[in-house]
C-alpha cells in the first residue's frame, strides 16, 4: 500500500488534483495497487486565516509518505514570495528534492504554436537542478529606500549539488531508448531526433565561474557514461533551438533559474500549462509531483481547467515509485483522450475538468 500525501493548494489546484486522484483510484483494481490518500491544507487560505505557511514539523511529517501530489501554490491576496518560499520551496528544499524533472512531450492532436513540428520532434526531458543556484536565497539588501540602496542575490553552486544533478541526468538518459552508438555519427544525425545525448544548458561565456563548474563536472561524469553523448548549449541559444529545432534535444540538464525559465517556454511548445507535468525528486527520499502551471484564479471553481498536467503528474509519480505498468496505462489513456479534446486551453477543451478525468479513467 502506498501512502500518498495530497496538497491541493490554491486556486484550481484542488480541482485538478481531484481528477488525478480519480485516475489513480481507478488503477487500484486494474493493477492490484492500493493507495491511502491523506489531504493537507497547506495553502494561501490557511495562511490568511492562521498566518501559517508550513512548519518544520509539518514538513517532517511528509517524510512518512511514499509520495506527494501537489496542485498549485499562490494567492492573489498574498504578496509574491511568501507562499512560494514558505510552502513550495520549503518542501523542495526541506525534502531535498534536488531534481525537478520536466518532460517536454507533444502528444498527438495537441496543438503547438511551433510551426511544422510533430510529436516526434518535441520529445525531450529537462532535468532542472531544484535546490540551489539563484534560489538559494543568498544575498540581501542594504540601505533600503535610500538612493544608495544595494541589492544582491547570488547564484551559488557547490560541486556536490552540481555533480548529483548531472549524475541523475546521465542515469536518466541511459534509461531512455538510445538510438545507436553516437561515436562516428555526423552532426546532422546527432541533431535530428537522436536519443542518447545529454545537453548542458548554461552560460559559460558570461557566468564563467558557475558554469565552468557545471561544464567540467559534465565532462568528468561523462567518462562513466560512454554511451551518452555530452553536449552543451548556451541558455539564450537554447531558446532559439527549442523553437527552431526541438528535435535536437534528448535530455537537457540545467541550473535552477534557467530551468525555471526554459521549462515555461518548453511547456508552451508542448501545448501549454494545461498539459505540462513535473516531478520534484529526491532519489533517496520522498518525491512531489505537480502540474507545472499556476493557480489560474480566473478559472477557480468553474470546472473548466485542464486537468491533464495533474493527471500527467500522477503518471510520473507512478513511474517514480516503480508502478510502471499502471503509469504506461495512464499515458496511453491520456494519448487517447488528447485526440478527443478540442483545445488544451481552459474553457475551450470541449469538455469539463471532471469529464476529462472521467475519460482518462474510463480509457485505462
Residues that bind ligand IPM (CB under 6 A): 84, 88-89, 260, 292
In angstroms, what is the minimal distance from the CB of 84 to ligand IPM? 4
E strand or H helix at 327, and its extent? helix 324-340
Residue 165 touches which member of ligand IPM, Mn ion, none, C-beta under 5-8 Å by kind = none
**Distance between first and last Cα of the chain:** 20
Residue 166 partner contact from Mn ion, ligand IPM, none using kind-dependent CB cut-offs of 5 to 8 Å = none
* 129 lies in the site for Mn ion, by CB under 5 A: no
With b for 16 or more beta-carbon neighbours within 10 A and e for fewer, the 287-321 pattern comes to: bbbbbbbebbeebbeeebbbbbbbbbbbbbbbbbb
For cell 520549503, name the residue. Answer: 90
For residue 266, the minimal CB distance to ligand IPM (Å) is 11
Residue 129 site contact among Mn ion, ligand IPM, none (CB < 5 to 8 Å, cut-off depends on kind): none
Of 214, 181, 210, the C-alpha closest to 200 is 214
Q: State the cell numbers at 137.
A: 536565497
CB-based closest residue to Mn ion: 260
| 260 vs 323 by CB, closer to ligand IPM | 260
From the list Mn ion, ligand IPM, none, pick the one residue 88 interacts with, judged by a Cβ distance below 5 to 8 Å according to partner type.
ligand IPM
Measured CA distances, 225 to 103, 217, 233 (Å): 21, 13, 19
Minimum CB–partner distance for residue 293 and Mn ion (Å): 9
323 forms part of the interface with Mn ion (CB under 5 A)? no
Q: How many residues are present in the chain?
A: 364
**In the range 252-271, which residues lie near Mn ion by CB under 5 A?**
260
- Select 75 or 248, whichever has its Cβ closest to ligand IPM: 75
DSSP β-ladder status, 67-72 and 287-291 = parallel
CB of 278: closest distance to ligand IPM in angstroms? 7
Q: At what angle do helices 324-340 and 353-362 cross, to 10 degrees?
A: 130
Residue in the shown chain whose Cβ atom is closest to ligand IPM: 84
Give the footprint of Mn ion on this chain (CB under 5 A).
Answer: 260
Amino acid at each position: 500500500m502506498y501512502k500518498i500525501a495530497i496538497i491541493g493548494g490554491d486556486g484550481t489546484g484542488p480541482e485538478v488534483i481531484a481528477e488525478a486522484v480519480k485516475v489513480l483510484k481507478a488503477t487500484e483494481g486494474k493493477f492490484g495497487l492500493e493507495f491511502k490518500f491523506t489531504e493537507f491544507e497547506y495553502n494561501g487560505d490557511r495562511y490568511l486565516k492562521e498566518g501559517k505557511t508550513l512548519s518544520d514539523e509539518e514538513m517532517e511529517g511528509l517524510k512518512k509518505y511514499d509520495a506527494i501530489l501537489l496542485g498549485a501554490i499562490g494567492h492573489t491576496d498574498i504578496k509574491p514570495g511568501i507562499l512560494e518560499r514558505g510552502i513550495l520551496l520549503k518542501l523542495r528544499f526541506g525534502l531535498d528534492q534536488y531534481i525537478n524533472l520536466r518532460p517536454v512531450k507533444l502528444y498527438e492532436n495537441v496543438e503547438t504554436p511551433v510551426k511544422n513540428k510533430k510529436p516526434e520532434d518535441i520529445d525531450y526531458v529537462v532535468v532542472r537542478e531544484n535546490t540551489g543556484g539563484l534560489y538559494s536565497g543568498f544575498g540581501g539588501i542594504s540601505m533600503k529606500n535610500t538612493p544608495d540602496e544595494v541589492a544582491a542575490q547570488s547564484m551559488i553552486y557547490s560541486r556536490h549539488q552540481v555533480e548529483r544533478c548531472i549524475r541523475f541526468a546521465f542515469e536518466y538518459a541511459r534509461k531512455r531508448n538510445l538510438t545507436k552508438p553516437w561515436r562516428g555519427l555526423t552532426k546532422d544525425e546527432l541533431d535530428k531526433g537522436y536519443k542518447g545525448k545529454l545537453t548542458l544548458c548554461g552560460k559559460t561565456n558570461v557566468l564563467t565561474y558557475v558554469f565552468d563548474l557545471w561544464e567540467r563536472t559534465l565532462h568528468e561524469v561523462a567518462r562513466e557514461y560512454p554511451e551518452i553523448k555530452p553536449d552543451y548549449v548556451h541558455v539564450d541559444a537554447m531558446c532559439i533551438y527549442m523553437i527552431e529545432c526541438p528535435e535536437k534535444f534528448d535530455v537537457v540538464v540545467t541550473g535552477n533559474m534557467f530551468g525555471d525559465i526554459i521549462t515555461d517556454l518548453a511547456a508552451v511548445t508542448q501545448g501549454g500549462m494545461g498539459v505540462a507535468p513535473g516531478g520534484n525528486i529526491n532519489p533517496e527520499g520522498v518525491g512531489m509531483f505537480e502540474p507545472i502551471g499556476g493557480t489560474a484564479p480566473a478559472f477557480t471553481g468553474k470546472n473548466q481547467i485542464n486537468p491533464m498536467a495533474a493527471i500527467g503528474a500522477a503518471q510520473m509519480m507512478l513511474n517514480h515509485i516503480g508502478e510502471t505498468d499502471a503509469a504506461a496505462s495512464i499515458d496511453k489513456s491520456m494519448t487517447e483522450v488528447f485526440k478527443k479534446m478540442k483545445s488544451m486551453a481552459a474553457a475551450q477543451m470541449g469538455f469539463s475538468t471532471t469529464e476529462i478525468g472521467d475519460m482518462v479513467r474510463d480509457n485505462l
